[in-house]
Structure 1
Amino acid sequence: MAKDLTAATVRTAKARPAKGDPTGPVVRTEYPDGQVRGLHLVVYPTGRRSWVLRFRFNDRTKKLTIGPVIDERLAPVDLIPEGEARTLAEARIAASAARTLIAQGIDPTAKAEQEAARAITVREAANRFLVEKRTKRNEPLRPNTLANYRTCFDGFICKAIGTSPIQDVTLAQLHGIIRSCADRPSMANAVHRTISAFFGWCASPRVGIIGSNPFSGIKLESSDSKLTRVLSLSEIGKLWTATKDGPFPFATIVRMLLLTGQRKEEVSQLTAREIDRSRSLWTMAGARTKNREAHTVHLTAATLEELDKAGRGDGFVFRGRSGDTAYAGHKRAHDILEAKLAFDKPWTLHDLRRTVKTRLAELGVPSDVRDAVLNHKSGGSRMDAHYNQHDYCEEKRDALIMWSRFVTDVASDEQVRLAYERLKTRKRFRDAINARPAQWRRYVSLLRRYQRFCEHVTTSHVTE
């Protein structure tokens, strides 16, 4: 049991070496008081002394810093401000008052924590968030996720409220930030996700920067911001034609996205060592994928032809201006290409991924194979996801070969595309597109002749 501290003990107390190392350097040392439970005299190696109260609240060990130590008070005072120096007797009075609050179910550190949080700005809290935030698996965030968070903080959140105390941020301010980018649904979604993750992290018990999350339970204001854009067949054809002659590397990246259905960052950060031309395989490690699972992509003849445009050097296949970093100029190049194509509706690079999955379904590819092609978690039962360890390697290869034929021979050829759209049933088409190359070429030729025949009949009818 701890002995009662005395004025002499407080005055002569010194920092001691760590236990088990009597000859080592002195370390921070605490002297418990036997009179008030939890009250400690803390002596630092520098000689500085302070009073702290250690206690448990809601099954958590907590600490209340009472203030520095003075040996005696020369003139009596009626009220000692919080955080001011105290004698032993005054520290016992402050500790006893705090323990009374604890017995009443009040956390005496709450006010101190709120005052500390009030002094933390949104920018300072955001910097901590970017360093300390972890995934549900307690792993560091992926570089792409961090980059997206930084974009939202720098471009919108901190630009609007970066210097404001985080404790004073209101829900109206957060809604205003999201509305400021409402004309860009994808960015509004990203800002919404960042705000939700950031304030949820700040309010978590482990962090405790704020007492409650002002953005808790807030959903997107309108379902119109959901991204459902799928390119039509004519748009696919126009995009394929428009990117035939560059500019490199953006045009090649767009074609790779369309042919493989992979994510923009996965294609842009492709490295030479991930490509196995002898087996026509592109293999990504788990660190490069969103679900952190290794993923293989079959490289069709059309895809390898696009890769050949980049050469066969080491490092990143698509390089930025510096030569040793991955290409990152998508925004400006996309805006130029979008103006050139002049589609009826705006489109994004991620729409190509949605387009691939939708068109594969149209071509009769089963859902589990479509998920495997895009490296999505299967939509089956949890039991199936646990026990089904099939890699779908052959099925993915067949699906991507079929999709490559569809893009290069159907969508990009107006006569074949129009003939395809005229078909009342597509069973024979699906059989042909999965057949050997010679059989597929003959079927494409038949489609082209069929469209010319339909055009001739229409023209003759109009003439008569």
Structure 2
Amino acid sequence: MANLSITVRTVQSLSPGETIWDADHREAVRGFGVRRQRGTPVYVLKFRAGGRQRFFTIGPHGSPWTPEQARKEAKRLLGLVAQGKDPAAERELLTLQTADTFRKVAEEYLKTAKQKQRPRTYSEIERYLLGVWKPLHPLPISQVNRRHVATHVGDIASNNGAVTAARARSALSAMFNWAIREGLEIPANPVLGTNRPAAPRSRERVLTDAELAEIWTGLEDDDYGRIVKLLILTAQRRDEVGGMRWAEIDCSRHLWTIPGSRTKNHREHPLPLTEAAMTLLPALSIGREHVFGDGPRRRGDQPRGFSGWSKSKGALDQRLLAKRKDEAVAGEAIAPMPEWWLHDLRRTAATVMADRLGVLPHIIEAVLNHVSGHRAGVAGVYNLARYEAEMRAALTAWASHVDRVVRGIEAVDPTREDPVREAPPGFDL
């Protein structure tokens, strides 16, 4: 054991079992040393804390630890000791913080979210955290700061739109709140205080009769075509129809009971099915769990109903545009149908039932499985009437309207501009 200036030369000349303590120069640090036991020399620090002598291993000689870097680290550690802190505890905390990367925390959070969220909601959260926020994956979760979040939210808004940016930001905030409750060493939720992208306006698109007929006649005789027609006739949500199960259908009563586990408000929803709707249920799928999409799958996969929404919707839009081109007069400018989504079918059904078929608002709410207004108050608790007869009458009238529109397709100009109609007030579809 010797007191010498710790330099590259003296470190490399160490023999097995030999230790050198820093001395004999102005930058010498008391207690800083280097020793070799068998292989690579290791930088150490000797200090007293709590009346006891302690040894702390800084690291082996070589990148990043040169004599100069190790000496600087020794000074920093002695500063912690002077503040009453334990360098070993500080290192353990740093190791934990570095090990908890954004990706690792996101995967742990998703395991919890999967048990609590509806499948579609979970898949969206997973897409945001594992896809949209991928640039942050390598960072320790404790080092993700407000600037990281704000910058990337801006990038998402520019590349993917404000809607995606707003939802990605919300998913990230929820993950950080969960991580803090789990005890991870995060000073605060870095999403808080960042600018929230402008909230998207609720859609108000209501299809014209011409557009409704155009969509109906453009559908093919396949699962997707039958699903979209059922969306029109029942005014239910996409995943409710796409995930329809035979066990939910009472064919003798023409009644479809959607369990609370598959509805947005978690309330069971008995819905009458019209004759037109019943004819769309494919007999070939009887005996399977799902009415649609429950075909052959990979071994071990659980049946999940219809999938492939985006691809099928894109193919439908292409067919609608091709049909417009085929039927256009020579030289006429052809435009695709204005942007529409499957959820617009639900809004269209509610609007027509209210405006043109004279269906009372509380019956429309019953069809849509909404709980608002008087149904959400005290009266809603005691008024347990399902309005089955009234709902069946409303849906039958709506089916007849659709039939008239579709059968009159040749008399309807799909390119004409009908007066813009909006959903009736009070219907947040």
Do both share a fold (TM > 0.5)? yes
Cα distance in 1 for partners of 2:46, 2:143 equals: 38
Aligned counterpart in structure 2 of residue 166 of structure 1, from 141, 145, 150: 141
Contact 1:114-1:211 at 8 Å conserved across structures: no
- Post-superposition offset of 1:375: 1.6
Aligned counterpart in structure 2 of residue 370 of structure 1, from 333, 349, 364: 364
SS of corresponding position for 1:384: helix
- Cα deviation per residue 1:351-394 (whole Å; 9 max; x = unaligned)? 22222233332233333322221222223353334343332222
- Cα deviation per residue 1:286-343 (whole Å; 9 max; x = unaligned)? 2222222211111111111111465433211112552554221111111111222244
Aligned counterpart in structure 1 of residue 106 of structure 2, from 126, 137, 142: 126
SS of corresponding position for 1:306: coil
Contact 2:210-2:405 at 8 Å conserved across structures: no
Aligned to 1:77: 47
Aligned to 1:340: 319
- Post-superposition offset of 1:269: 1.2
Which residues of 2 match residues 3-402 of structure 1 at below 5 A? Answer: 77-78=47-48, 116-133=96-113, 140-157=116-133, 159-169=134-144, 170-176=148-154, 178-179=156-157, 181-183=159-161, 187-188=164-165, 190-203=167-180, 205-208=181-184, 210-216=186-192, 220-224=196-200, 226-243=202-219, 245-246=220-221, 248-308=222-282, 311-319=285-293, 322=296, 324-342=303-321, 343-362=336-355, 363-380=357-374, 382-402=377-397
- Post-superposition offset of 1:344: 3.6
SS of corresponding position for 2:257: strand
Deviates more, 1:357-366 or 1:409-418: 409-418
- Post-superposition offset of 1:118: 5.0
Structure 2 vs 1, CA of residues 388 and 250 (structure 1 numbering), >3 Å: closer, same or farther?
same
Structure 2 vs 1, CA of residues 388 and 327 (structure 1 numbering), >3 Å: closer, same or farther?
same
- Post-superposition offset of 1:412: 5.3
Structure 2 vs 1, CA of residues 199 and 357 (structure 1 numbering), >3 Å: closer, same or farther?
farther
Cα distance in 2 for partners of 1:325, 1:140 equals: 17
Contact 1:372-1:378 at 8 Å conserved across structures: no
SS of corresponding position for 2:271: strand
Contact 1:270-1:318 at 8 Å conserved across structures: yes
Structure 2 counterpart of 1:172, which letter? A
Contact 1:122-1:163 at 8 Å conserved across structures: yes
SS of corresponding position for 1:78: strand
Aligned to 1:54: none
Contact 1:241-1:412 at 8 Å conserved across structures: no
Cα distance in 2 for partners of 1:311, 1:163 equals: 46
Structure 2 counterpart of 1:127, which letter? E
Structure 2 counterpart of 1:336, which letter? A
CA RMSD of aligned residues (A): 3.6
Contact 1:273-1:314 at 8 Å conserved across structures: no
Structure 2 vs 1, CA of residues 160 and 225 (structure 1 numbering), >3 Å: closer, same or farther?
farther
Cα distance in 2 for partners of 1:83, 1:289 equals: 58
- Cα deviation per residue 1:160-186 (whole Å; 9 max; x = unaligned)? 322222223323244135315534x66
- Cα deviation per residue 1:202-234 (whole Å; 9 max; x = unaligned)? 34x455553322223767523456433322221
- Cα deviation per residue 1:415-442 (whole Å; 9 max; x = unaligned)? 7879xx9xxxxxxxxxxxxxxxxxxxxx
Cα distance in 2 for partners of 1:155, 1:202 equals: 19
Cα distance in 2 for partners of 1:373, 1:83 equals: 70
Contact 2:254-2:272 at 8 Å conserved across structures: yes
Cα distance in 2 for partners of 1:82, 1:385 equals: 68
Between 1 and 2, higher relative CO (CA 8 Å, sep ≥ 6) is seen in 2
Q: List gaps (5 residues or longer) in structure 1.
A: 1-74, 85-93, 99-108, 422-464
Normalised to the residue count of structure 1, the TM-score between the two structures is 0.59
Contact 1:133-1:201 at 8 Å conserved across structures: no
SS of corresponding position for 1:254: helix
Structure 2 vs 1, CA of residues 83 and 307 (structure 1 numbering), >3 Å: closer, same or farther?
farther
Normalised to the residue count of structure 2, the TM-score between the two structures is 0.63
Which residues of 2 match residues 444-455 of structure 1 at below 5 A? Answer: none
Structure 2 vs 1, CA of residues 82 and 173 (structure 1 numbering), >3 Å: closer, same or farther?
farther
- Post-superposition offset of 1:396: 1.9
